[in-house]
């Protein structure tokens, strides 16, 4: 059924291998130059635009916009750490820490291992706890954490918050968009799947789980919360994501502006790694507007809360 | 080959440069089990443990960093899954490569390896896909296990040997991760 491997064509469809084939030294981005004291303040190009999958991908570009456009900077004081996107700008690693990543396969200590990471973002180890805050909004799981077992996302909120319900709007690798939420009965994603990628449920609290065996079918999702009765919620409690190894990624919800719908967290699959990011944005409107605001625009809606499906 | 039996691969087959570890299983009509199974390889140091998460090669990490151990997205030939090993490229610090099969656990759908009708690990010559050895039928010994260490390719003197393990784990991949030091 499949031809002899000796004569089979090459496999350029394995993006992981292609990434690993060309490990790059850290790119001298304007931001990194600035932090190292070697360059002018970088132009403000890195706004946390939600649909952009990963600002850290910018590292692969040879050179960011020329610093000559610094006339734009006059409006802002020079703040060394860009507040919102610190984690994704790769400022955490000093450039000198990464050795030149050549293909010395037999190096015994394998000192080059950190350089082979595609995303040198904040990580979390088994049993650890990481807090998502305004200054450190992202955590990246390793490919093992992103592919073994299941990831549980739970809204730990007391009844004082109101009738908070949890849901997620997702995009699969096929391009399919839809929502999954326990309230309303859309418990599985895809809707009629025998083996769903996402599962919504309710025990002590509302929760979502991602079947990580199927993580390669998933492209991205955004976790939202809403008031079932459409009365404004007194935001409180914590959104907790728990990995199979027991690492907890916690996002306190107190700081949200009052409203009935808010996007809490987004998860992007980048080269097999799950990037978990705090969004914490109250939305004017309902679930439909939240989905559109985050670029999930291939959904047809029955009303402002439920897709047609 | 029975459990515990070993064979000196590079001594008996001069010129052997690469191996293919092929996994054959049959789940009968149990589709959920079929789709939950994961075949993986662990690169272990001299202490028998993985050195980092990058030493775990599976469907979401198809290659070790130096690309000595690679999983195929689609197996070539009659196996369900295959992992290729380039023996010369295996780092000196790696003492053994253990291949495992586990059921990816999600809360609602509990499956075990006891539901497998058949489970056989094979070793092929990487040059011509010729079968070198195959394990005995391992499925008959499973009951509530959710993971199994199938076999290992390991250094012995200057040679590479292969041994059938067939060691089951009732705690699934978590048990294997604890034994082989995979950071979950």
Tens digit of pLDDT for each residue in A181-226?
Answer: 999 888 998 988 888 999 999 999 999 999 999 999 999 999 999 9
* Strand positions, DSSP E, chain B: 6-8, 18-26, 37-44, 56-57, 69-71, 81-86, 96-103, 118-125, 131-134, 147-156, 159-169
Read off the tokens for B17: 């440069």
Is the pLDDT confidence value at A235 over 60? yes
**Of residues A87 and A131, which shows the higher confidence score?**
A131
Residue B20 CA, distance from chain mean position? 10
pLDDT tens for residues B168-183?
999 999 999 999 999 9
**Of residues A89 and A261, which shows the higher confidence score?**
A261
Q: What is the mean pLDDT of chain A?
A: 76
- Can you spell out the DSSP letters for A181-192? ETTTTB-EESTT
- Alpha-carbon distance A269 to A173, whole Å? 10
CB-CB contact of A101 with A24 (8 Å): yes
B47 φ, ψ to 5°? -85, 5
Is the pLDDT confidence value at A12 over 80? no
Per-residue confidence band for A103, with pLDDT thresholds at 50, 70 and 90: very low
Predicted pLDDT at A251: 97
Q: Is A243 on the interface with B (CB under 8 A)?
A: yes
Is the pLDDT confidence value at B9 over 50? yes
Mean pLDDT on B98-119: 90
Largest CA distance in chain A: 66
- Domains by residue range for chain A, with CATH: 15-116 (no CATH), 129-293 (2.60.60.30)
**Of residues A145 and A37, which shows the higher confidence score?**
A145
Q: H or E element: which one contains A30?
A: helix A30-35
Q: Which residue of A has its CA nearest to B110?
A: A149
Per-residue confidence band for A7, with pLDDT thresholds at 50, 70 and 90: confident
Question: Which residues in chain A touch residue B104, judged by CB atoms under 8 angstroms apart?
Answer: 148-150, 211-213
- Alpha-carbon distance B125 to B162, whole Å? 13
Read off the tokens for A290: 């939240």
Burial class for A284, CB neighbours closer than 10 Å (0-12, 13-18, 19+): exposed
Per-residue confidence band for B144, with pLDDT thresholds at 50, 70 and 90: very high
- Alpha-carbon distance A178 to A307, whole Å? 7
Mean pLDDT on B90-104: 96
- In chain A, the percentage of residues whose pLDDT exceeds 70 is 62
Among all chains, which residue has been given the structure tokens 């789940």? Answer: B27
- Domains by residue range for chain B, with CATH: 6-180 (2.60.60.30)
From B32, B76, B91, residue closest to A106, measured CB to CB: B91
Distance from the B87 Cα atom to the nearest Cα atom in chain A, whole angstroms: 11
- Alpha-carbon distance B114 to B112, whole Å? 5
Question: Which residues in chain B touch residue A108, judged by CB atoms under 8 angstroms apart?
Answer: 91-93
pLDDT tens for residues A37-81?
455 554 544 444 444 444 444 444 444 444 444 444 444 444 444
- Alpha-carbon distance A288 to A299, whole Å? 9
Question: Which residues in chain B touch residue A244, judged by CB atoms under 8 angstroms apart?
Answer: 173-174, 184
Edge-to-edge strands of the sheet including B81-86? Answer: B69-71, B81-86, B18-26, B118-125, B131-134
The answer to pTM > 0.80 is no
Distance from the A259 Cα atom to the nearest Cα atom in chain B, whole angstroms: 33
Question: Which residues in chain B touch residue A109, judged by CB atoms under 8 angstroms apart?
Answer: 93
How many CA atoms are closer than 13 Å to the CA of A138, on its beta-carbon side? 28
Q: Which residue of A has its CA nearest to B109?
A: A195
- In chain A, the percentage of residues whose pLDDT exceeds 90 is 54
CB pairs under 8 A between A and B: 125
pLDDT tens for residues B23-66?
999 998 888 899 999 999 999 999 999 999 999 999 999 999 99
Predicted pLDDT at A191: 87
């Amino acid at each position: 059924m499949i031809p002899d491997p000796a004569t089979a064509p090459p496999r350029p469809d394995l993006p992981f291998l292609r990434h690993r084939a060309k490990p790059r030294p850290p790119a001298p981005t304007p931001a990194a130059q600035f932090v190292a004291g070697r360059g002018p303040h970088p132009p403000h190009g890195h706004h946390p635009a939600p649909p952009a999958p990963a600002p850290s991908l910018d590292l692969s570009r040879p050179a960011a916009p020329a610093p000559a456009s610094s006339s734009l900077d006059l409006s802002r004081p020079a703040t060394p750490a860009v507040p919102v996107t610190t984690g994704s700008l790769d400022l955490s690693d000093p450039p000198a820490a990464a050795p030149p990543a050549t293909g010395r396969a037999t190096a015994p200590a394998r000192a080059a291992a950190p350089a082979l990471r595609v995303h040198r973002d904040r990580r979390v180890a088994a049993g650890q706890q990481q807090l998502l805050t305004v200054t450190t909004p992202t955590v990246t799981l390793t490919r093992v954490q992103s592919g073994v077992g299941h990831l549980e996302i739970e809204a730990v909120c007391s009844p004082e918050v109101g009738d908070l319900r949890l849901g997620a709007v997702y995009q699969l690798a096929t391009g399919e968009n839809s929502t999954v939420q326990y309230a309303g009965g859309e418990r599985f994603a895809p809707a009629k799947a025998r083996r769903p990628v996402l599962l919504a449920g309710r025990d002590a609290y509302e929760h979502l789980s991602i079947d990580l065996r199927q993580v390669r079918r998933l492209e991205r999702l955004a976790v939202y919360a809403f008031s079932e009765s459409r009365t404004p919620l007194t935001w409180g409690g914590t959104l907790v994501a728990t990995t199979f190894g027991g690492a907890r990624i916690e996002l306190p919800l107190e700081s949200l502006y009052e409203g009935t719908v808010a996007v809490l967290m987004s998860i992007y699959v980048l080269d097999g790694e799950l990037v978990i990011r705090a969004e914490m944005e109250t939305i004017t409107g309902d679930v439909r507007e939240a989905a559109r605001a985050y670029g999930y625009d291939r959904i047809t809606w029955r009303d402002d809360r439920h897709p047609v499906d | 080959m029975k459990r515990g039996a070993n064979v000196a691969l590079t001594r008996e087959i001069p010129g052997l440069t690469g191996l293919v570890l092929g996994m054959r299983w049959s789940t009968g009509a149990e589709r959920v089990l079929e789709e939950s199974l994961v075949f993986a390889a662990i690169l272990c140091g001299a202490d028998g443990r993985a050195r980092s998460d990058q030493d775990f090669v599976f469907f979401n990490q198809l290659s070790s960093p130096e690309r000595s151990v690679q999983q195929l997205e689609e197996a070539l030939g009659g196996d369900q899954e295959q992992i290729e090993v380039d023996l010369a490229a295996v780092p000196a610090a790696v003492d053994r490569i253990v291949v495992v099969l586990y059921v990816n656990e999600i809360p609602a759908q509990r499956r075990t390896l006891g539901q497998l009708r058949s489970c056989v690990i094979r070793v092929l010559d990487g040059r011509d896909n010729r079968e070198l050895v195959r394990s005995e039928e391992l499925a008959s010994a499973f009951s509530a296990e959710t993971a199994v260490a199938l076999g290992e390719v390991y250094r012995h003197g200057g040679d590479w040997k292969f041994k059938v393990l067939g060691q089951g784990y009732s705690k699934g991949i978590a048990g294997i991760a604890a034994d082989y030091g995979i950071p979950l």
